[in-house]
Amino acid sequence: MSFRAILLIVWSVQLSAVPLAAHKHRQPDAPVQTLTGTVEWEYKTLAWDCDVPNCDHFALYDDATKTNYELDNARAALPFEGKRARVTGVVNAKDGTIHLLSIESAKQ
């Protein structure tokens, strides 16, 4: 067996040993939901976790429930700022964040 094959086996065993709870956005019991609303820019005073220029954070305002959900992918939400969008993702009920799986324009 080559050294490369041994490294590949060790690497794959290490990856499979990582518990699901260690994944940042993984919530095995949370169902995927689709919500429609308006994407709004949010100001965060302590935005140390910025992933786009100017520390942009976005939320989806759900008209049906009158609830704001923070979107965890500002880069994907940026083109939809101020527009109605259909968001599919996993909602974290504890902190009101949506782990964004897809976002698309919604009809007015």
Asked whether residue 27 is assigned to any structural domain, the reply reads yes
Q: What's the CA gap between 70 and 57, in Å, rounded? A: 8
- The CATH code of the domain that includes 31 is 2.40.50.430
5 within domain boundaries: no
Evaluate whether residue 9 is within a structural domain.
no
Domain holding 64, by residue range, is: 23-105
Spatial neighbors of 54 by CB under 8 A, at least 6 apart, are none
Amino acid identity for residue 41 in this structure = W
- Within a domain: residue 41? yes
| Tens-place pLDDT, residues 21-54 | 334 555 456 799 999 999 998 766 555 555 545 5
Whether the CB-CB separation of 83 and 36 falls below 8 Å is answered with no
Residue 86 belongs to some domain of the structure: yes
Whether residue 43 is contained in a domain is answered as yes
How many structural domains does the chain have? Answer: 1
pLDDT-derived band at 107 (thresholds 50, 70, 90) equals confident
In a domain, 55, yes or no: yes
Residue 85 lies in a domain: yes
pLDDT at 17: 35
